[in-house]
């Protein structure tokens, strides 16, 4: 990858594949760089080769899209981490098969996806507590994460995974949805028009829960996990409108596995490190790159699409990928017409998905109480072993931003680089200091944005300017 490439797409989830296909069909030479061994990202995550015949509908959709991308002549470089970038459109990568190095492109589309938002509560570090998406990934590999499972948090993914758990032979003891869906959902009925596939998937999941007498509790959440060495049970309770537990409603429940899901956070580290301007958009998941109507960031020729640029779901990701792919093709002189004409063509589809996006945000954004469950001795930053007490002490001596808390406590300096603890600590600092979330800020992005073997860092430090 030594020469300058026309267009590099980072990520091969729905938005990345959609962008690559749109640009390639316009005549652009497209290269996808992806961290996974097989294209598809999290949404289209593919099964092992031996289990391809048992693919789910989502996986088959991903396979069909990937076959179109291949037929369009797109080059894919898999198992390769892009861990740094610069404003001149140079990407730094590392791979077991490609080695490590840099590649420069005339245009870049960042399709980096999102990661799950956890909540910290007593016992959340016990073996047996995992993210709902992590449980889904295990199920895709035909690995059962537990025998007696409790799901807690918010969002339709809980129902999807609960059904998969039931189909795989697990017992689902309950699904706790923190949101007051019935009270809030009435105003969004129009946004469901045309969302037949999503409604069908949701109805199928609910039917599976009903057939197995699985409790689906609206306005309920988890307060604590229990167990000496691993999960043995949990305390749950009814929640108020702000997701704070209502006293006197606590119940004990026996389980060996707890899946938590509190929505998604855009993974914007690469867009930050390349120098794209960021803005605070809580309705899109938090901090995201600023973009124009063509999905271009503040850096000309650098585009950002999909959930990594704002949580919107798979259909929005596919649309944004098409827009960025067409815009990049126009920029590179490989397409005719204008981006405005293209946007007018897809406007009805875009408006429908924007309405769905607004509904999703309103219904499934956790209230502040979800981030107030930790006790003084609860580890909030697991990598560095930092408790709630230490975070509050940092605030008492004047820390009002997440960066200031980091400098005092080392939160966010572990292997996950703040992806797990960051959203939790933001809320804790905001509540303790009275500082708005937007002013508390997020962690800075520094290379490498993913953990790398020391041999790579030591060998290539001079070339990558890491020292």
What is the spatial distance between Cα 379 and Cα 69, in angstroms, rounded to a whole number? 44
Residues 6+ away with beta carbon under 8 Å from 101: 1, 2, 92, 93
Report DSSP letters for 344-374, one per residue.
Answer: HHHHHHHHHHHHHHHHHHHHHPPPGGGG---
Q: Which two tokens stand for residue 91?
A: 């990407």
Sign of CA dihedral 133, 134, 135, 138: positive
Find the helix or strand (DSSP H, E) in which 162 lies. Answer: helix 157-167
Q: Angle at which helices 422-433 and 388-396 pack, to 10 degrees?
A: 40
Spans in the chain with pLDDT lower than 70 = 1-2, 49-54, 98, 183-186, 193, 457-467
What is the spatial distance between Cα 329 and Cα 26, in angstroms, rounded to a whole number? 6
Fold of 374-440: Arc Repressor Mutant, subunit A (1.10.10)
Q: Which two tokens stand for residue 56?
A: 């789910």
Spell out a b/e string for 213-232, using b for 16 or more CB atoms within 10 Å of the CB, else e.
Answer: ebebbebbbbbbbbbeeebb
Model confidence, pTM: 0.93
What is the spatial distance between Cα 400 and Cα 426, in angstroms, rounded to a whole number? 10
What is the spatial distance between Cα 285 and Cα 365, in angstroms, rounded to a whole number? 9
Residue 244: other Cβ atoms inside 10 A: 16
What is the spatial distance between Cα 436 and Cα 401, in angstroms, rounded to a whole number? 10
Question: For 100-152, how does the pLDDT look when each residue is reduced to its tens digit (9 = 90+)?
Answer: 889 999 999 999 999 999 999 999 999 999 999 999 989 988 899 999 999 99
Q: Is 389 left (phi over 0), alpha (psi -120 to 50) or beta?
A: alpha
- We find that the CATH architecture of domain 118-262 is 3-Layer(bba) Sandwich (3.50)
The verdict on domain 5-115+265-336 having CATH code 3.50.50.60 is yes
Q: What is the pLDDT of residue 203?
A: 86
Give the start-to-end residue ranges of the domains of the chain.
5-115+265-336, 118-262, 374-440
Question: For 220-265, how does the pLDDT look when each residue is reduced to its tens digit (9 = 90+)?
Answer: 999 999 999 999 999 999 999 999 999 999 999 999 999 999 999 9
Q: What is the pLDDT of residue 41?
A: 87
Query: 5-115+265-336 and 118-262 share one CATH topology?
Result: yes
């Amino acid at each position: 990858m030594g020469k300058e490439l026309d267009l590099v797409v980072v990520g091969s989830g729905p938005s990345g594949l959609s962008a690559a296909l749109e640009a390639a069909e316009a005549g652009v030479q497209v290269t996808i760089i992806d961290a996974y061994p097989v294209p598809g990202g999290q949404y289209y995550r593919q099964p092992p080769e031996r289990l391809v015949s048992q693919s789910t509908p989502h996986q088959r959709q991903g396979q069909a899209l990937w076959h179109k991308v291949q037929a369009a002549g797109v080059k894919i470089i898999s198992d390769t981490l892009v861990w740094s970038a610069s404003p001149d459109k140079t990407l730094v990568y590392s791979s077991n098969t490609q080695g490590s190095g840099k590649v420069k492109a005339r245009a870049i589309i960042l399709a980096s996806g999102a990661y799950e938002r956890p909540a910290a509560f007593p016992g959340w570090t016990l073996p047996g507590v995992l993210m709902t998406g992590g449980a889904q990934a295990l199920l895709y590999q035909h690995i059962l994460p537990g025998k007696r499972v409790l799901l807690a948090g918010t969002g339709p993914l809980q129902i999807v995974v609960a059904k998969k758990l039931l189909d795989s032979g697990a017992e689902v003891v309950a699904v706790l949805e923190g949101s007051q869906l019935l009270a809030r959902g009435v105003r969004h009925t129009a946004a469901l028009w045309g969302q037949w596939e999503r409604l069908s998937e949701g109805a199928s999941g609910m039917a599976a829960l009903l057939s197995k007498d699985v409790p689906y509790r609206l306005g309920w959440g988890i307060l604590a996990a229990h167990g000496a060495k691993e999960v043995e049970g949990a305390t749950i309770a009814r929640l108020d409108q702000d997701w704070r537990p209502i006293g006197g409603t606590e119940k004990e429940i026996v389980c060996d596995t707890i899946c938590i899901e509190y929505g998604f956070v855009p993974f914007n580290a690469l867009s930050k490190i390349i120098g794209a301007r960021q803005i605070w958009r809580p309705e899109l998941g938090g901090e995201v790159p600023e973009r124009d109507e063509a999905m271009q960031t503040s850096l000309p020729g650098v585009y950002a699409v999909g959930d990594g640029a704002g949580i919107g779901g798979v259909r929005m990701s596919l649309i944004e990928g098409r827009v960025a792919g067409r815009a990049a093709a126009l920029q590179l002189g490989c397409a005719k017409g204008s981006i405005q004409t293209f946007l007018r063509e897809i406007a009805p589809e875009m408006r429908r998905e924007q309405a769905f996006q607004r509904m999703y945000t309103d219904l499934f954004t956790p209230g502040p109480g979800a981030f107030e469950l930790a006790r003084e001795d609860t580890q909030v930053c697991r990598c560095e072993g930092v408790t709630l007490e230490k975070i509050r002490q940092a605030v008492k001596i004047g820390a009002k931003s997440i960066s200031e808390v980091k400098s005092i406590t080392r939160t966010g300096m572990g292997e996950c680089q703040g992806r797990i603890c960051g959203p939790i600590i933001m809320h804790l600092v905001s509540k303790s200091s009275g500082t708005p979330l937007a002013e508390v800020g997020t962690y800075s992005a520094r290379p490498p944005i993913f953990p790398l073997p020391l041999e790579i860092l030591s060998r290539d430090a001079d070339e990558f300017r890491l020292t």
